[in-house]
Amino acid sequence: MDEDDLLAAYARRTGCGDLCAGTAPTLATLQRLITHHAAAIPFENIEVLCGRVPKLDLPALRRKLLDSRRGGYCFEQNTLFMAVLRALGFAVLGLEGRVRAGVPADVETGRTHMALAVEAEGRTWLVDVGFGALAPQRPLPLEAGGHEEHRLVEAGDGELLLQARTFEGWTDAYRLMPGRPRPIDYELGNWWVATHPSALMGRCLLVARSLDDGGRMTLFNRRLTIRQPLDGAPIERELRTDAEIADQLTGGFGLRLSAEDLSVVLAKLSLFAA
């Protein structure tokens, strides 16, 4: 795919045209790209709920996330973002992680998360635009340590545990694995997440995007949550009607859904509530 064409489509979708026009690959540029991306392209698993395995080739990702104004989950979001960053001159490698959010400590999880390692200003940074409500909203040095919102903790065997600070305190997000995965590893993880009966993505509706004030808006089935930055208490409410769900998906989250896909999502929500 032509890089200039990709960057033009990305700029239209995210509103970061100035950053996609010959900008130097600096840390400040990386921060602004993350901010624009997280606000414009929601995390969502509607493709899986509709019985489809998301495609990870760049033309398909461009059509879905950029031209069709949809969102996606980690494999889609971070594959697209990696291509954009490389087109802008950043050195980027993929990472693999084991999801720990909401998982009991004694339960082993597979390598079903994709994140990125980005070089900028002499350091390597963890970048992740595909982990929904717990994704870091800024580059994080890829080493033990952190800031007020996220931190990386040594977890043994060369692994790093990403933790996010919420209103309730620090919570585990995922464990980063050493080594460098190949594209086939992401294909396998993507297939498992989209098709395995026990995988979360097929058993609930998950949508999230960043807000202008640094907070997050998330939808878990019918529960809409507005998470305030840092210490602010979350605001929650139940969306009781299909019309409310449709309005949030297309209005609040800005997703462009076909009538058929919306119908499938609403039918699945009725099954989840049964």
pLDDT of residue 274: 59
CA distance 274 to 271: 5
pLDDT(210) > 90: yes
pLDDT tens per residue, range 95-121: 999 999 988 888 899 999 999 999 999
For the annotated catalytic residues, the residue numbers are: 74, 113, 128
Kindly indicate the confidence band of residue 19, based on its pLDDT and cuts at 50, 70 and 90: confident
Task: Indicate the SS3 state at residue 67.
Answer: helix
Looking at every residue in the chain, the average pLDDT score rounds to 93
**What's the pLDDT at 23?**
80
**Binning pLDDT at 50, 70 and 90, where does residue 18 land?**
confident
22: left (phi over 0), alpha (psi -120 to 50) or beta: left
User: CA 124 to CA 117: how far, in whole Å?
Assistant: 6
CB 248 within 8 A of CB 219: yes
CATH number of the domain located at residue range(s) 3-273 in this protein: 3.30.2140.20
Whether the pLDDT of residue 209 is over 80: the answer is yes
pTM over 0.85: yes
- Both tokens of 163, joined, read 């933790």
Cα–Cα distance measured from residue 15 to residue 63, given in angstroms and rounded to the nearest whole number: 17
Instruction: List alpha helices for the chain, DSSP H.
Output: 3-14, 27-40, 46-49, 58-61, 74-87, 183-195, 242-247, 259-273
The length of the chain, given as a count of residues:
274
- Residue 273 in this model has a pLDDT that exceeds 80: no
Contact indicator for 254, 42 with CB cutoff of 8 Å? yes
pLDDT of residue 205: 97
Q: How far apart are CA 67 and CA 63, in angstroms?
A: 5
What is the residue whose two structure tokens read 């907070």? Answer: 215
Query: What pLDDT band is residue 231 in, cutting at 50, 70 and 90?
Result: low
